[in-house]
Structure 1
Amino acid sequence: MHPKLAPSIKSVSAILAIATIIASALVAYDANGNPFGTVRVAALRDYGGTTFADIRNLELWRLITAQLVHVKQGHMLYNAVCLLLVGSLVEKKIGPARVLVIWLFAGGLATYVSPIGVEAPWNVGTGASQAVFALATTALVLIFYREVERMRGGVLVAFALIPGLALDFMTAGYPKPGHAVALCLGGLLGLLFHHRARSRDGAPTIGKA
């Protein structure tokens, strides 16, 4: 990969991706002795997954830990790659602090609502998919305003969104609640950050089309 395109190991996106891999693999190993094994979604509540009751009890730390644990580790690796690639793309334009805000706020809130309509004990919000969706729609905003190169940005956004949306429509017929909320919040935060930067600088930052 070209040095200028390679994400830095010091970036927030890289740190989040690595933390996701390590945490999810450790949970899988503790749960069934295989770091790449499947973990029952109900069991993930004991490892930081979140339910509505947990947040009502002010266990807000779960909005962070829930995003690190996964049922299937193959899905986790895909999410980690998306976090790294899409997150790094966004991070270069809006900075690491704002990427962390998107991950914490949009990813956390979307993970919290993701079990809507799911019966106990399977009503546990988990996974990095929601943060990936939020970062992808933030990237779409940046692409729209030509702050990100359209071809490269479009390919990465499609890579992050199409498999998850396709699975949603095949299994439920519509985007699942967590994904839908993440899409909306990511877009709203992208608009907010873009317009704040334009107001501060007096003009939009225009990248290559």
Structure 2
Amino acid sequence: MRQILKLSIKPASMVLSLATIVASVWVAYDATGSLFSTVRVSALRGYGATTFADIANLELWRLITAQLIHVKQGHMLYNAVCLLLVGSLVESKLGSLRTLAIWLFAGGLATYVSPIGIKAPWDAGTGASQAVFALAAVALVLIFQRNVNRMRGAVLVAFSLVPGLALDFMTAGYPKPGHAVALFLGGLLGLIFHVRTCPEDREPR
């Protein structure tokens, strides 16, 4: 059990987690006057949330900023913890640059598609949950390839995925587009990076 709980916190994951907290809290305070208040989705576009029109206008920086800001700060704190934990697990095997690339590419694109089917002015992609899903998918690849402790990995993946998926099925009846795309892209990048980085680095059965 001690071995399962032992996890070294990695620098890139810590930076992503802290940046998420700082950006979200600052936006909440600036928009509402309170550090932990709920911020309207329509208001978040002015702080970096992304829509299809924004990306069509080549405002590509929103793929970064949208992942840092949240509607609900309780959800933000949960995402920040997941980024720190499952991100550190992934980073321990793939390194900081690849972990950041997963966050940027998979998380950014999944956040971009997350408003599919949502009408304006609520059609803005925000939040770190897409990046969390992408990193969890990478962690699943590492688990199946025995590159990380399986029990530790399973606990962290379940902690990162189960609440979000449960909420998706309760509210929509299926995984929401942003989460589904994040899982696909995360799994794909996990396979690519695994082959290049740690094909022979396996945990004992």
* Common fold: TM-score over 0.5: yes
Q: Which residue of 1 aligns with 2:121?
A: 121
1:4 shift after superposition: 6.2
TM-score computed with the length of structure 1 as normaliser: 0.94
Q: Does 1:207 align with 2:199?
A: no
1:207 shift after superposition: 2.0
Q: Which residue of 2 aligns with 1:189?
A: 189
Q: Does 1:179 align with 2:179?
A: yes
**Distance (Å, rounded) in 2 between the aligned partners of 1:205 and 1:197:** 9
1:78 shift after superposition: 0.1
Cα deviation, 1:70-99, whole Å, max 9, x if unaligned, reads: 000000000000000000000000000000
Q: Does 1:25 align with 2:21?
A: no
Correspondences of 1:66-81 after superposition (within 5 Å): 66-81=66-81
Q: Which residue of 2 aligns with 1:98?
A: 98
* 3-state SS, counterpart of residue 35 of structure 1: coil
User: Percent identity, aligned pairs only?
Assistant: 73
**Distance (Å, rounded) in 1 between the aligned partners of 2:96 and 2:152:** 20
TM-score computed with the length of structure 2 as normaliser: 0.96
Q: Which residue of 2 aligns with 1:161?
A: 161
Q: Which residue of 2 aligns with 1:6?
A: 8
1:5 shift after superposition: 2.4
Correspondences of 1:19-98 after superposition (within 5 Å): 19-98=19-98
**Distance (Å, rounded) in 2 between the aligned partners of 1:4 and 1:169:** 32
Cα deviation, 1:150-174, whole Å, max 9, x if unaligned, reads: 1010000000000000000000000
Cα deviation, 1:27-59, whole Å, max 9, x if unaligned, reads: 000010111000001110000000000000000
* 3-state SS, counterpart of residue 53 of structure 1: helix
**Distance (Å, rounded) in 2 between the aligned partners of 1:208 and 1:74:** 38
**Distance (Å, rounded) in 2 between the aligned partners of 1:70 and 1:81:** 14
Q: Which residue of 2 aligns with 1:108?
A: 108
Contact 1:147 1:208 in 2 (8 A): no
Aligned length: 203
**Distance (Å, rounded) in 2 between the aligned partners of 1:114 and 1:5:** 31
Structure 2 segments unaligned to the other structure (5+ residues): none
* 3-state SS, counterpart of residue 67 of structure 2: coil
Contact 1:79 1:129 in 2 (8 A): yes
After superposition, the CA RMSD in angstroms is 1.5
Q: Which amino acid aligns with 2:124?
A: V
1:208 shift after superposition: 3.6
Q: Which amino acid aligns with 1:89?
A: L
* 3-state SS, counterpart of residue 66 of structure 1: helix
Q: Which amino acid aligns with 2:31?
A: A
